[in-house]
Amino acid sequence: MSLNILPHKNWNVYSLKNIQKVKEDERKFKEKEEKKQTKKEQIEREARYETLLRKAGIQKKQEKQIPFSIEDLKTNHINLFQENPNLINKETNEEYEKEKKEEEKKLVQKLTTFLGQSSVEMKKEKPWYQQTQNKEKNISLIDERRKQQDDPLSKIQRSLAQRKLQKDEEKNQEEKNKTPPVFFSPLNSHSLWDQKPLEKERREEKKKRKKNKHKEKEKEKKKETEKKKKKHRKSRKKSDTNQELLKLRQERLLRESQEREKIEKLKNQLTNQNNQNNNNQNRPQQTIFSRMVRMETGGSRLRSDY
């Protein structure tokens, strides 16, 4: 089984912070080793420089001869134009080095993919288990909405607003359906001729309205009759099914009664036959016994048994 390391823990090895710490420690260790190596190289250079001066016949005034190794003389060659490393200024610009290191880090971060890139630190948004404040805000908003919805006063206000809208719509429809008032002018020949077509139109409109009302009533009646027919059909179906069930039950009861009668008849016949057979078996034994008795007594009543 593989280990499931939690990414948000501090002890996670694959987090970016821990990776950066390891890299910094490695970099410091490398710098220390480089410093040690540079010191060693400086010491070796100084020793070689002194050996070369001695070979050339130049000696320092207040210095004694320093023993030197033979291996260095064999491997290295003489360089007359070599400078003294102690005299060289090894001071460098620290800001320039820092800028270089930052640029290198940026390039490495762009090109390489670290193990901790899928962790929480690389993501812009925090996961759900770290978003505590946002949760509380959302919960408070949801609770307020629920309270507003469940509040009886708010429900009453909504229902009243809906009723007002319905009443306003009904009023508007009634106003539209109403005919505009007719203002009669004084009786003149021209005014009477103008009123005649208006009266015809009104009559026609009234007739149309009556027809429409009659049609609507007929439609409603048809719907009611259809509903009644459906109910009657359903009731008839139920009654038919009940009647069929009753018939089937009656037939079943008749069959059962007939079968019982047949069984009783057969039982009676069998009992009668058994009784007759038993009587027939016992009868000849009685006759033989009676004969024997009569023979002994004189045989006066032998034929009486037959």
Buried b (16+ CB within 10 A) or exposed e, 194-219: eeeeeeeeeeeeeeeeeeeeeeeeee
Q: What pLDDT, on a 0 to 100 scale, did the predictor assign at position 132?
A: 65
Residue 224 lies in a domain: no
Residue 120 to residue 20: CA distance in whole angstroms: 15
pLDDT above 90 for 24: yes
Q: Concatenated DSSP letters for 146-190?
A: HHHHH-HHHHHHHHHHHHHHHHHHHHHHHHHHSPPP--PPPS-HH
User: Tokens representing 91?
Assistant: 């001071």
Residue 95 lies in a domain: yes
Q: What are the strands, taking DSSP E only, across the chain?
A: none
Residue 161 lies in a domain: no
Residue 21 to residue 27: CA distance in whole angstroms: 10
Residue 203 to residue 57: CA distance in whole angstroms: 147
Q: What pLDDT, on a 0 to 100 scale, did the predictor assign at position 119?
A: 59
**Count: domains in the chain:** 2
Given 90, 124, 158, the domain boundary residue is 124
Residue 286 lies in a domain: yes
Local confidence band at 9 (pLDDT 50, 70, 90 cut-offs): confident
Q: Are 48 and 72 in contact (CB under 8 A)?
A: yes
Q: What is the mean pLDDT of residues 137-159?
A: 79
Residue 241 to residue 247: CA distance in whole angstroms: 10
Q: What pLDDT, on a 0 to 100 scale, did the predictor assign at position 82?
A: 59
Which residue is it, tokens 């593989």?
A: 2
Residue 288 lies in a domain: yes
* The dihedral formed by the CA atoms of 157, 158, 163 and 166, expressed in degrees to the nearest 10: 140
Reference 47, options 26, 24, 65, 29; nearest CA is: 65
Residue 29 lies in a domain: yes
Which residue is it, tokens 């045989």?
A: 299
- Asked whether the whole model's pTM tops 0.75, one would answer no
Q: Are 47 and 72 in contact (CB under 8 A)?
A: yes
**For residue range 97-123, what is the model confidence (pLDDT) as tens digits?**
888 888 888 877 766 656 556 556 666
Given 64, 98, 124, the domain boundary residue is 124
Task: Taking the CA atoms of 256, 260, 262 and 263 in sequence, report the sign of the dihedral they define.
Answer: positive
Residue 245 to residue 250: CA distance in whole angstroms: 9
User: Tokens representing 283?
Assistant: 């009868």
How many residues can be counted in the chain?
A: 306
Of the segments 58-72, 138-152, 161-175, which one has the largest average pLDDT value?
Answer: 161-175
pLDDT above 60 for 32: yes
Which of 165-169, 189-193, 208-212, 242-246 is predicted least confidently? 189-193
Residue 208 to residue 212: CA distance in whole angstroms: 6
CA 218 vs. chain centroid, Å, equals: 52
Given 72, 96, 124, the domain boundary residue is 124
Q: What is the mean pLDDT of residues 248-267?
A: 91
Residue 180 lies in a domain: no
Residue 151 lies in a domain: no
Buried b (16+ CB within 10 A) or exposed e, 173-192: eeeeeeeeeeeeeeeeeeee
Q: Are 16 and 116 in contact (CB under 8 A)?
A: yes
Q: Which domain holds residue 292?
A: 238-300
Residue 305 identity: D
